[in-house]
Amino acid sequence: MTGARKRVGVLISGRGSNLQALLDASVDPQFPAEIALVISNRAGAYGLERARAAGVATTTISHKDYPDRDSFDGAIDAALRGAGCEIVCLAGFMRIFTPGFVNRWPNRILNIHPSLLPSFTGLHVQRRAIEAGATIAGCTVHIVTPDLDSGPILAQAAVPVLPDDTEDSLSARILEQEHRLYPAALAWLAEGRVRIDGNRALVNGASASGVLLSPCP
């Protein structure tokens, strides 16, 4: 790797297992990104402890302290810019940003969602996949746009839905793939390999939306 590593801000609300995957990847000096700041909207989020253990700066910005979404988003934006962040990663951040915030970080916000988008947006996606009779599930890393769980798909990983799966068992199997997929997708973006063409994400000129890091057996 040549050049300075990109500075990344990670936003969390809970335990931060995907944050841990990013922290672990960034330990390698050849990884093209470093975690510069972790922000939580909940003071008790365990992910803050993960960040502190890794020597990463943390801050809590509670949405309850702000009268509206615009002012809350403004505080998040100021903290990210104050830390010199160039990329934002959402890792279980349970707030929806205003279009104004998203537009201030064009093609620089990543999110990981535990389904194969565009199927099963929103919450409780594993339960809904099982109830729908899906035979394949998985996770998606996408560029964040003002539309919820939308935006160009950067990478996906698939897992089978087994006959005896529960919401918990399927979630656990998908989470393993999230931990592999998110650092890979962040590396592509940090290396400047990603180009957005309409609603498609291209990596070195080839569509990455079909990447399956865990093919079904």
More confident residue, 210 or 52: 52
- pLDDT the model gives residue 163: 95
Evaluate whether 142 touches 154 at the Cβ level (below 8 Å).
yes
Q: For residue 194, name the pLDDT band (cuts at 50, 70, 90).
A: very high
- pLDDT the model gives residue 158: 95
Q: 1-105 sits in which CATH class?
A: alpha beta
Catalytic machinery residues: 113
- pLDDT the model gives residue 3: 72
pTM here is: 0.93
Question: Tens digits of per-residue pLDDT, 75-106?
Answer: 999 999 999 999 999 999 999 999 999 999 99
Q: Domain residues of the chain, as ranges? A: 1-105, 112-142+151-217
pLDDT average, residue stretch 99-115: 97
What is the percentage of the chain residues whose pLDDT exceeds 90? 90
pLDDT average, residue stretch 183-208: 88
Question: Mean pLDDT score of the chain, rounded to an integer?
Answer: 93
Query: Strand pairing partners for 18?
Result: none
Residue 147 has pLDDT above 50, yes or no: yes
96 C-beta neighbours (distance < 10 Å), count: 11
- pLDDT the model gives residue 211: 55
- pLDDT the model gives residue 207: 55
CATH architecture type of domain 112-142+151-217: 3-Layer(aba) Sandwich (3.40)
Q: For residue 214, name the pLDDT band (cuts at 50, 70, 90).
A: very low
1-105 and 112-142+151-217 share one fold:
yes
Question: Tens digits of per-residue pLDDT, 17-36?
Answer: 999 999 999 999 999 999 99
- pLDDT the model gives residue 115: 97
DSSP string, 12-68: ESS--HHHHHHHHHHTSTTSSEEEEEEEESSTT-HHHHHHHHTT-EEEE--GGGSSS
- pLDDT the model gives residue 205: 59
Q: Provide the CA 190 distance to its chain's centre, in angstroms.
A: 14
